Amino acid sequence: MKVININNLTKSYGNARGITNVSFHVEEGEIFGFIGPNGAGKSTTIRTLLSLIYPTSGKAEIFGKDCIEFAPEIAKQVGYLPSEVFYYDNMKVIDLLKYSASFYKKDCGKRIKELAEIMDLDLKKKIDDLSLGNKKKVGIVQGLLHEPKLIILDEPTSGLDPLMQQRFFDLLLEENKKGATILFSSHILSEVQRLCDRVAIIKEGKIVTVEKISTLKENNYKKFKIETKETAEQDFFNIAGVDNLNVADHSVSFLFRGDINIVMKKIAEVEIANLWIEEPDLEEIFMHYYEKEV
């Protein structure tokens, strides 16, 4: 079942960049990554999906229901953490969370305490007295307290220290095991690589590719690093399938996609001191997509 289904979603802001013909879907039980640098269109896509802003054209569905027509009904089953959280400063954390829980017409008291303990959040403090990181923790608890079927996270780890990030990732994996579907938007590629099954890469408001992480890493590219006995020639490995070529003295590195026999024959023509062939990390693949023209 497609929990999220987005078809040709477009949001125009006149001359300012919005999103253009964005299409992807998220399967039930999936942790789906949505990556691109700040300003690429991630938040616009998410806000349009949640009917916080309306699309210029195109359509989006959650749980098979139109996002605009059924927005109040859908919201009961969705947990959302925006990239920036803003609250009433004079409220205590517990009062804010109880107020949030009241919208779902269910007793969330036990779950609030569980989540606050996991995230090391002091429920008695006033919002005004919290650091940026602790305000983000409030947002995390607020987004998960009603045990939503779909969790949508927009740059969720900004402000969290490494220990809290790890706890948060563990919490997400636990929610996923219980059946929650997760849309995880980030510009931090290691997070996406660690958590997600599939990923959509967005550039300048347009989807560049939608792939399994395993496909991006394993099937498409290999990372070569070669130490040569003689000074490497700049253009020697300038062959079809080679990207991100770097040549310096006795060192050559590049990404390669295609028939590996071609590049191995080329390597055989050189006196080499050492050779490494690895899977590239997601960041290297990501930069490749960003350097290409779409």
Q: Domain holding 239: CATH number?
A: 3.30.70.1560
177 within some domain = yes
Same domain for 172 and 124: yes
pLDDT in tens, the chain (294 residues): 899 999 999 999 887 779 999 999 999 999 999 988 888 899 999 999 999 999 999 999 999 999 999 999 999 999 999 988 888 778 999 999 999 999 998 899 999 999 999 999 999 999 999 998 999 999 999 999 999 999 999 989 888 899 999 999 999 999 999 999 999 998 887 788 889 989 999 988 999 989 888 777 665 678 899 999 888 887 888 888 888 899 988 899 998 888 889 889 989 998 999 999 987 666 677 776 766 544
For residue 220, the tally of other CB atoms under 10 A from its CB is 16
Looking at the structure of the chain, the number of domains it has is: 2
* Residue 42 and residue 208 in contact, taking contact as beta carbons nearer than 8 Å: no
Per-residue pLDDT, 149: 97
73 within some domain = yes
Same domain for 251 and 226: yes
Do the bridges between strand 150-154 and strand 181-186 make them parallel or antiparallel, or are there none, so unpaired? parallel
196 within some domain = yes
CATH number of the domain to which 191 belongs: 3.40.50.300
Parent domain of 23: 2-216
293 within some domain = no
86 within some domain = yes
